[in-house]
């Protein structure tokens, strides 16, 4: 029943990831749904606009404390904890990876300093910004590369090279999301594109607000897309290093996300109109090819 709850969360929210889950054997699919449900709950706590940052931190820490107690064998009635504890036992997922993932979600909010210089709440007036690409890399590692490391624990692998490739593949996915969601993120005061990259093209954070001229921003987004394309090669290199029964699932995920990046490029990186997506019919076609790989 706990896994069923997690699958419902994944089905409702994981628009791209859920397609990869469907190609996996049942137990591995259930495990990934448990991980996704955990991620979703962390995001929901960290992104709750009704709560000041201090309370978000407190709730997330309490949530993680509950997970630690569940992993230690204490009883729990939380279906996500029940499913994730079973997943942890089956696939030896390090607890510290889940901690990093959870705390990484708090990087999406920034503290407002009060009169005493103490951060006590999230502020929409102060945009979240990263100065360099290396700064952004740390964020991507915590919210995406760590997910890749957890996933390959479930997929199964024996070659240590898989870990670095999973980190890079997760970063490719996250960069794609950042490019697609520039408009939405900027409206929330989140500027993920590095300040040094903006300055390189004579831009500032203010240029990302409203409805900017797409032509001015295209070279910047092309730069980030080029980085993502290079990282996607790691996803393809990773496929043969994981267990055979998981290879079609990873192929589906990499293919869908790469298709999303190319759709963005085909629209000349104009991400200020309707949100760009891979249509369901294309995802189903990719999923069908994944099923064929699984049975052949």
Question: Same domain for 99 and 60?
Answer: yes
- Full residue range of the structural domain in which residue 71 is found: 1-125
Query: Is the domain of 160 the same as that of 274?
Result: yes
Q: pLDDT at position 51, please?
A: 86
Query: Alpha-carbon distance 201 to 288, whole Å?
Result: 42
Same domain, yes or no: 131 and 260: yes
Same domain assignment for residues 118 and 133: no
Where among 85, 104, 125 does a domain terminate?
A: 125
Please tell me whether residues 156 and 258 are part of one structural domain: yes
230 and 220 in a common domain: yes
CA dist 235 and 162 (Å) reads 10
Q: What angle do CA 22, 27, 33 make, to 5 degrees?
A: 60
Reduced to 3 states (helix: H, G, I; strand: E, B; else coil), residue 215 is helix
Shared domain check, 183 and 277: yes
3-state secondary structure 96-107: HHHHHHHHHHHH
Same domain? 45 vs 135: no
Residue pair 272/211 in contact (Cβ under 8 Å)? The answer is yes
From 84, 107, 125, the end of a domain falls on 125
Q: For position 118, what pLDDT does the model report?
A: 41
End-of-domain residue from the set 99, 125, 151 = 125
We report the CATH number of the domain holding residue 64 as 1.10.600.10
Element (H, E) at 198: helix 195-200
**Splitting the chain (296 residues) into consecutive groups of 10 residues, what average pLDDT does each group show?**
95 87 94 95 88 87 93 94 96 93 78 40 55 92 94 96 97 96 87 94 89 90 97 97 96 96 96 92 92 78
Total number of domains in the chain: 2
Tokens coding 269 = 């990186």
* Model pTM score: 0.89
Residues 154 and 191 reside in one and the same domain = yes
Q: 281 and 141, same structural domain?
A: yes
């Amino acid at each position: 029943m706990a896994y069923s709850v997690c699958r419902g969360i994944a089905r409702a929210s994981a628009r791209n990831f859920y397609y990869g889950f469907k190609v996996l054997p049942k137990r591995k699919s259930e495990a990934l749904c448990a991980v996704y449900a955990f991620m979703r709950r962390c995001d929901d706590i960290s992104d709750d606009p009704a709560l000041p940052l201090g309370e978000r931190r407190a709730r997330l820490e309490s949530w993680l404390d509950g997970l630690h107690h569940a992993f230690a064998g204490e009883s729990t009635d939380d279906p996500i904890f029940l499913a994730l504890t079973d997943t942890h036992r089956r696939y030896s997922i390090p607890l510290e990876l889940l901690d990093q993932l959870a705390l990484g979600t708090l990087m999406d909010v920034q503290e407002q300093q009060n009169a005493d210089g103490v951060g006590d709440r999230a502020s929409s007036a102060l945009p979240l910004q990263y100065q360099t690409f290396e700064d952004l890399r740390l964020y991507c590692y915590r919210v995406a590369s760590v997910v890749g490391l957890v996933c390959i624990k479930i997929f199964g692998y024996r070659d240590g090279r898989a870990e670095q490739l999973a980190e890079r593949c997760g970063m490719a996915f996250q960069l794609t999301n950042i490019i697609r969601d520039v408009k939405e993120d900027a409206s929330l005061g989140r500027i993920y594109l590095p300040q040094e990259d903006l300055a390189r093209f004579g831009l500032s954070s203010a240029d990302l607000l409203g409805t900017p001229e797409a032509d001015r921003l295209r070279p910047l987004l092309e730069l980030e897309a080029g980085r993502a394309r290079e990282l996607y090669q790691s996803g393809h290199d990773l496929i043969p290093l994981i267990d055979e029964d998981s290879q079609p699932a990873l192929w589906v995920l990499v293919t869908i996300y790469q298709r999303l990046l190319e759709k963005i490029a085909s629209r000349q990186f104009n991400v200020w109109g309707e949100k760009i997506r891979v249509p369901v019919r294309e995802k189903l076609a990719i999923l069908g090819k994944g099923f064929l790989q699984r049975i052949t």
